[in-house]
């Protein structure tokens, strides 16, 4: 898979860079002519040499500037496209993928690994192409000037290779390990900052610091290894280059004294020698840079090649307005081969309030995730009005549900941003105020300096836990849906506020003629449900009204008794 491409814009940039290199190759010849002049006079050949040299320098500056801009801007453009592609792919990956990942690692791949690709495209490739041209041109010119000095200068290649090739292979391994370590450090750092409140309340600062310190120290040790390699390569190359320069100078001086070599030619040779040192190093480092690029490409390709959810693409199926029936028939689900749900049967109708209850770990939240197709069922069938869920696109299917989760889903941004998240229609301010009034947040929002446009901070840190849950309920109520799914949505509310909001939701249910599916532990929340599904041992063991289950199901009676004891504490 080609993540980065050699485009016409990049080729033009490299071509201009090659022209600049060719201009540089001509400068030592001008210097040679100038040195070999028997006398200087501001006329004749000396004037032409100086003027031509000045024009070459100015031309080189203009061509190099344009080349650098074309190459770097094309790199930025391709990196932008790649990051957009990665972001889009990440958002389309299934939930099970994120269950196995650390968000900081993904962030590092999108940012740091893509930068490695940009560096290879905009720095390594142009440097190798122009460097190769410079080396080839230099060899041709110097051979034409003096083949003996050229052969002496060519000793730089095998000597430089003896140093850079073995050390470069070690650098390649270290670079790959460094990228992985940097991704891990990004992950743990992001996680510790995100969970800082939990860290502080559990007095876990030292534990978290130790975890971060391990990754920092690992990255430090890798950096030291890289520093040792760099510390050896640089001085060794400098020493060898100095020795070769001395050899060229001494041999050239002897040739000048003997009259077999002009002073200008020796000066030109020295300029050419210094001119090819950089390109030689760039070509020598190409192997390790390419390996580092391939390592980054492999990690990015793994993300891109992950099977994404097909959120759209299927034709929208017609759904009759009015009453709807959601059915689960013998639905089973396993997470990493571990059974979580087994042969679940369930029904939910418009205008009806059902509840899913059971002990912690019984599978209630997983059932909600299966209903909304966050997870695919292993067996069985989910349908709406007899139409299989898989016949609908994910986008259309999830549009049938408005979901309020127990966990915090407030995004950084304003009240307006949070209420309109994902809405594909324009919403008036009055609708937003009505939604806030429904959850008793209207007065709070009106007291804020910017009202609906007031910022809530990262993850809604400006709100209390109860306010965050109410904000999520207000968001859910603004959507067009057939079923309202509440997963412990009122767990952070006091009893009086919960009663008011549940009454409002009942009114909303009648107004929109929608069904309501509630997952909760509080008996006050579930007791007035039209039907309760009692989940135990990964399946629905009984269903009916609260009174019917109390009378007929001992396990449910025991569950209710335990909840009553908890609520009295």
| DSSP letter for each residue of 450-492 | TGGG-B--GGGTTS-HHHHHHHHHHHHHTS--SEEEEESTTTT
Token representation of residue 22: 């060719």
Residue 328, H or E segment: strand 325-335
463 vs 258: CA distance, rounded Å: 89
371 vs 367: CA distance, rounded Å: 6
In tens, the pLDDT along 373-400 reads 988 898 999 999 989 998 998 888 988 9
Token representation of residue 369: 């995730």
Q: Which residues pair with 414 in a beta bridge?
A: 455
354 vs 188: CA distance, rounded Å: 40
Look up 488 and say whether it is catalytic: yes
375 vs 301: CA distance, rounded Å: 24
Place of tokens 């309109």: 420
Q: What is the DSSP letter of 120?
A: I
Q: Which residues contact 315 (CB under 8 A, 6 or more apart)?
A: none
Helix, strand, coil percent values for the chain (each to nearest 5): 65, 10, 25
533 vs 549: CA distance, rounded Å: 9
What pLDDT shows up at residue 1?
A: 47
- Judge contact between 183 and 145, C-beta under 8 A: no
What pLDDT shows up at residue 331?
A: 93
Q: Report which of 479, 463, 483 is spatially closest to residue 409, judged by C-alpha positions.
A: 463
In tens, the pLDDT along 467-494 reads 888 888 888 888 888 999 988 877 777 7
Q: Report which of 419, 390, 236 is spatially closest to residue 310, judged by C-alpha positions.
A: 390
- Judge contact between 362 and 521, C-beta under 8 A: no
In tens digits, what is the pLDDT along the chain, a chain of 569 residues?
Answer: 477 788 898 899 989 988 988 888 888 877 777 777 665 555 555 667 677 778 888 888 899 899 889 988 888 888 888 888 888 888 888 888 887 776 667 777 777 788 888 888 888 888 888 888 888 888 888 888 888 888 877 776 676 666 666 766 676 677 777 777 777 777 777 767 666 656 666 677 787 788 888 888 888 888 888 777 777 766 776 777 777 778 878 888 888 888 888 888 888 888 888 888 778 777 777 777 777 787 778 888 888 888 888 766 677 887 777 788 999 999 999 887 788 899 999 999 988 999 999 888 788 888 988 999 988 898 999 999 989 998 998 888 988 998 888 777 788 889 998 898 888 788 899 999 999 998 888 999 999 989 999 988 877 788 888 888 888 888 888 888 899 998 887 777 777 878 877 887 887 888 788 899 998 877 878 888 899 999 988 899 999 999 999 988 898 888 888 877 666 65
What pLDDT shows up at residue 237?
A: 67
Q: What is the CA radius of gyration of the chain?
A: 35
Dihedral pair phi/psi, residue 343, rounded to 5°: 50, 60
Q: Report which of 428, 342, 419, 412 is spatially closest to residue 378, judged by C-alpha positions.
A: 342
Give the long-range contacts of residues 373-379, CB within 8 A, separation 24 or more. Answer: 373/397, 373/398, 374/94, 374/95, 375/94, 375/95, 375/96, 375/333, 375/335, 376/94, 377/331, 377/332, 377/333, 378/332, 378/333, 378/334, 379/330, 379/331, 379/332, 379/343
Token representation of residue 307: 């099977």
Write down the pTM of the prediction. Answer: 0.73
Catalytic residue among 488, 547, 551, 562: 488
Outline where DSSP puts E strands in 353-505: 353-357, 379-384, 387-388, 401-404, 483-487
What pLDDT shows up at residue 44?
A: 58
- 3-class secondary structure, 555: helix
């Amino acid at each position: 898979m080609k993540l980065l491409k050699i485009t016409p814009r990049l080729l033009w940039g490299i071509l201009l860079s090659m022209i600049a290199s060719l201009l540089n190759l001509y400068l030592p010849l001008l210097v040679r002519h100038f040195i070999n002049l028997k006398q200087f006079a501001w006329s004749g050949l000396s004037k032409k040499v100086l003027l031509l040299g000045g024009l070459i320098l100015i031309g080189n500056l203009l061509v190099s500037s344009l080349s650098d801009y074309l190459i770097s801007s094309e790199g930025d453009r391709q990196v932008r496209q790649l990051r957009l592609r990665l972001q889009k792919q990440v958002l389309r990956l299934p939930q099970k993928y994120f269950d196995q990942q650390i968000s900081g690692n993904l962030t590092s791949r999108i940012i740091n690994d893509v930068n490695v690709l940009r560096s290879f495209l905009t720095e390594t490739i142009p440097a190798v192409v122009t460097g190769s041209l410079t080396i080839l041109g230099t060899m041709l010119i110097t051979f034409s000037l003096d083949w003996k000095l050229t052969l002496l200068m060519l000793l730089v290649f095998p000597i430089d290779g003896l140093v850079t090739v073995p050390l470069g292979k070690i650098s390649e391994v270290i670079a790959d390990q460094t990228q992985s370590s940097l991704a891990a450090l990004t992950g743990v750092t992001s996680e510790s900052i995100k969970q800082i409140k939990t860290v502080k309340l559990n007095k876990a600062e030292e534990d978290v610091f130790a975890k971060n310190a391990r990754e920092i120290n690992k990255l430090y040790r890798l950096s030291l290894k890289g520093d040792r390699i760099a510390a050896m390569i640089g001085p060794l190359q400098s020493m060898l280059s100095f020795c070769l320069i001395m050899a060229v100078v001494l041999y050239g001086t002897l040739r000048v004294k003997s009259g077999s070599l002009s002073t200008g030619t020796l000066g030109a040779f020295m300029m050419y020698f210094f001119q090819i040192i950089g390109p030689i190093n760039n070509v020598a480092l190409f192997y390790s840079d390419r390996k580092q690029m391939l390592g980054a490409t492999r990690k990015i390709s793994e993300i891109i090649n992950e099977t994404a959810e097909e959120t759209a693409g299927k034709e929208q199926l017609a759904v009759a307005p009015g009453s709807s029936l959601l059915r689960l028939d013998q639905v089973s689900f396993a997470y990493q081969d571990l059974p979580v749900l087994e042969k679940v049967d369930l029904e939910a109708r418009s205008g009806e309030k059902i509840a899913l209850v059971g002990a912690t770990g019984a599978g209630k939240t997983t059932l909600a995730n299966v209903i909304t197709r966050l997870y695919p069922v292993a067996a069985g069938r989910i349908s709406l009005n007899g139409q299989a869920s898989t016949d609908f696109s994910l986008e259309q299917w999830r549009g049938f549900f408005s979901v309020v989760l127990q966990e915090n889903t407030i995004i950084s941004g304003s009240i307006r941003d949070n209420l309109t998240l994902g809405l594909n229609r324009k919403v008036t301010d009055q609708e937003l105020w009505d939604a806030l009034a429904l959850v008793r947040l209207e007065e709070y929002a009106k007291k804020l300096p910017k009202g609906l446009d007031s910022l809530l901070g990262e993850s809604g840190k400006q709100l209390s836990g109860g306010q965050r849950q109410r904000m999520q309920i207000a968001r859910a109520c603004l959507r067009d849906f057939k079923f309202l799914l509440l997963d412990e949505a009122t767990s952070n509310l006091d009893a009086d506020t919960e009663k008011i909001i549940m009454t409002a939701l009942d009114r909303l249910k009648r107004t929109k003629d929608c069904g309501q599916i509630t997952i909760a532990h509080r008996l006050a929340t579930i007791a007035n449900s039209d039907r309760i599904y009692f989940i135990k041992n990964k399946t629905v063991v009984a269903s009916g009204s609260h009174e019917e289950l109390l009378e007929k199901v001992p396990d449910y009676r025991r569950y209710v008794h335990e909840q009553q004891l908890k609520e009295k504490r």
